[in-house]
Amino acid sequence: MPGTQRVARVSQAARRWGRERSSFRDFEEAVAANDTTAALAADDRFHAVPITAADNPVLSRIIEQLHPQIHRILYRKFSTLLGGRNTIEHHDQLIAVCAGGDARAAAELSGRHWSELGGHINDLFDSNQFAEAATG
């Protein structure tokens, strides 16, 4: 997709940021209350806004297929809410760049966040926490 179309899509999504900000506040409140279930529900609502705005059936299908696995990993990440604090910062930055229509910055920011999540997943495997969850 040419850059101008991509920016136009992000700009259209900027009109949806009321829902995004509301779910972001819900996420912050859930993290502050140590409520993992509410944090994950708010995170799902948060990410639904740009996914819907992308209007990309392939992306939607991939996310739908991976969602159960991603949710299990995120539940482990947030079960102690150890990842919640940096996610709040990421969400705040993501809202700002998307609302400003900067698709490139949004992609770079999201890529860094997913890389951090990947490192956290490695830590969970290294510490055998997935095995503990399965047998615990």
Task: Write out pLDDT tens, residues 46-72.
Answer: 888 878 877 889 988 998 898 888 777
At 108 the pLDDT is 92
Query: pLDDT tens digit string along 16-42?
Result: 777 778 888 998 898 888 888 898 899
Token pair for residue 48?
């639904």
What distance in Å separates the CA atoms of residue 103 and residue 101, rounded to the nearest whole number?
6
pLDDT at 10 over 60: no
Contact 76/129 with Cβ under 8 angstroms?
Answer: yes
What distance in Å separates the CA atoms of residue 51 and residue 106, rounded to the nearest whole number?
13
Tell me the pLDDT of the chain averaged across its residues.
77
Distances (CA, A) of 47 to 4, 50, 53: 23, 6, 10
What distance in Å separates the CA atoms of residue 112 and residue 73, rounded to the nearest whole number?
17
